[in-house]
Amino acid sequence: MVCKIILIGYMGVGKSTIGKELAKKTKLPFLDLDKIIEKKENKSIDELFQEKGELYFRKLEHHLFKELLSNQNSFVLSTGGGTPCYYNNHLLFELENIKSIYLVASIDIIFERLLQEKQERPIIKDLAELELKEFIGKHFFERSYYYQKATVKIKIDNKNVIQIVEEISELLF
Ligand code: S3P
């Protein structure tokens, strides 16, 4: 049977790290939507935003996401933080054989992580520390509606990757 597990959530929650581990545990191939985009365009996401703009990125993201969800392959897919929030991508969670998982983190945890890792993320890289906190608060709130459409929600604060993967497996299978 086809099984597509999709990890969604705000930047910095660990979608790729958790996705890789979950793929190992479920013995499914691991796919990372940002990496697929980078490979296809032969550019980093940051370069793509700078050279072609966010709209171009969002269209490509939608097209590839839809294509992946419509094929007959099984996989664990980590998405970008904005994937569910554009072009009605969240509605695609309702397609057959899809299990969508929202990795829920507190604003404080997200802020701490993104402060260290903001450089490669075009949306936040130019924000100063104070601006970043305010930005995350508002942006996260705007995006929550889409994240909430996931079938399963897992809180990740103060848990390690192994615990999170265990919890996801218990809820899914
Ligand atoms: C984005 C998140 C990024 C990447 C792009 C846009 C967003 O992915 O897709 O920079 O809009 O939140 P991560 O969530 O893996 O950082």
- What does the pLDDT look like over 16-54, one tens digit per residue? 999 999 999 999 999 999 999 999 999 999 999 999 999
Distance CA 167, CA 106 (A): 18
Cα dist from 25 to 2, 79, 116, 157, whole Å: 17, 19, 29, 21
Per the prediction, the chain carries an average pLDDT of 96
| Angle between helix 33-41 and 54-70 (nearest 10) | 120
Tokens of 146: 């889409």
For residue 21, the model assigns a pLDDT of 98
Ligand 1 pocket test, pick from 123, 124, 132 with the greatest ligand atom count within 8 Å of Cβ, gives: 123
pTM: 0.97
Model pLDDT, residue 76: 98
127-154 in b/e form (b: 16+ CB < 10 A) is beeeebbeebeebbeebeebbebbeeeb
Distance from the Cα of residue 18 to its chain's centroid: 11
Q: Is the pLDDT of residue 11 over 90?
A: yes
Q: DSSP H helical segments within 10-106, as ranges? A: 15-26, 33-41, 45-52, 54-70
- For ligand 1, residues with CB inside 6 Å are 11, 15, 34, 45, 80-82, 121-123
What's the CA-to-centroid distance between 81 and ligand 1, angstroms?
4
pLDDT mean over 106-121: 95
- Per-position DSSP letters for 49-72, written without gaps between them: HHHH-HHHHHHHHHHHHHHHHHSS
Per DSSP, helices labelled H in 53-160 are 54-70, 107-117, 129-147
Residue 172, pLDDT > 90, answer no
Residue nearest to atom 16 of ligand 1 (CA): 11
Question: What is the pLDDT averaged over residues 128-150?
Answer: 96
User: What is the pLDDT at residue 173?
Assistant: 81
Q: What is the pLDDT of residue 169?
A: 94
Return the percentage of the chain with pLDDT > 70, whole number: 100
Q: Is the pLDDT of residue 60 over 90?
A: yes
In the prediction, which pLDDT does 94 show? 92
User: Which amino acid makes up residue 58?
Assistant: R
Model confidence band, residue 163 (pLDDT cutoffs 50, 70, 90)? very high
In whole angstroms, give the CA distance from residue 125 to residue 115: 9
pLDDT at 36: 98
